[in-house]
Amino acid sequence: MERLVKSPGAPLKSAPFHTASTLQLLGTGTEVLIVISTPYWYGVETHEGQHGWIMRDELELLP
């Protein structure tokens, strides 16, 4: 399942915690593939192959 980043500079985290290190900041409209879903976080993979975690409310469905 793919989703789009909806806010600029959404942090891609190394773990599903606010205090986890930020791997990169994702721009608005970046497509990510959902690989794991938790109540508050998605484990995702970017098209570049980067794996990480992003807050669920940072993403939206593809139009």
pTM given for the model: 0.91
Domains detected in the chain: 2-61 (2.30.30.40)
Please choose, from the candidates 18, 60, 53, 20, the residue with its C-alpha nearest in 3D space to the C-alpha of residue 38.
Answer: 53
Quick one: pLDDT band at residue 49, thresholds 50, 70, 90? very high
- Measuring CA to CA, which residue among 8, 44, 54, 2 is closest to residue 27? 8
Structure tokens at 24: 């990169």
Strand order in the sheet with 59-61: 22-26, 10-13, 51-55, 41-46, 31-37, 2-5, 59-61
Collapse the DSSP code of 56 into the 3-class scheme (helix H, G, I; strand E, B; otherwise coil) and give the result: helix
pLDDT for res 1: 87
Question: Which band of pLDDT confidence, cut at 50, 70 and 90, is reported for residue 3?
Answer: very high
